[in-house]
Structure 1
């Protein structure tokens, strides 16, 4: 079942952008806000959100996507320097329901990681044939030519 992504008026992240007074906000400048995830994978789990509404990575302006990544890098450094348990950092960006996106406002998860934290990604890492890789590369190049 496909759901309709929310408009700006009913977007929970747009509401946070409109009123960033929460003590969960850790960054609020240069068109980007970052705050604690209310359903954290680990303590310190952050969301980096562009203030301008976009649904995913592909419709976010390139300069905004770059700024989101820059802020994520700063936050990763802050997590590593904090007293939170953080032996590593994962970044996770989901676009579309098939990719597990639940809130249809672009956002990048910054996840502090440590051995035994229980977080994992289940996938079939079986690999591909040389022909399969070549066919996929051809398909991606064709997609690039349609930009």
Structure 2
């Protein structure tokens, strides 16, 4: 397994994971729109944001690794956003979003590994807290996060803004 920052080449696979969490979609069947391109570019350009993937690729470096990326299968993804704040003695916190594991690979420990690696990344950056929200409908995801040690400590609110 390889845990790395997503490249533009990974974008269709990431969108496939986000489009339907219960089915394995062929990334080639999805249209990568202009808004997706802009958002992916903005994440990559922002030092406080990372789109990360877990792939089945071999652990190589250099030119061999670049050549192997074409054959890698994206098994999971998440976005990490680092938020500065005055609380917790000025420590950053890491916000985890868009956590997905391919439907046909769930239950194999990949989600726990993806979250472990993301948490370690946040810890190495000096974050004092990792937080996330999850749709109330995703009860299996809630049990998963609780098994990893996440606590239901707050009630979340969202306001959708219409364009």
Question: Structure 2-normalised TM-score?
Answer: 0.34
Higher Cα Rg: structure 1 or 2? Answer: 1
- Which structure dedicates a bigger proportion of its chain to helix? 2
Q: TM-score, normalised by structure 1?
A: 0.37
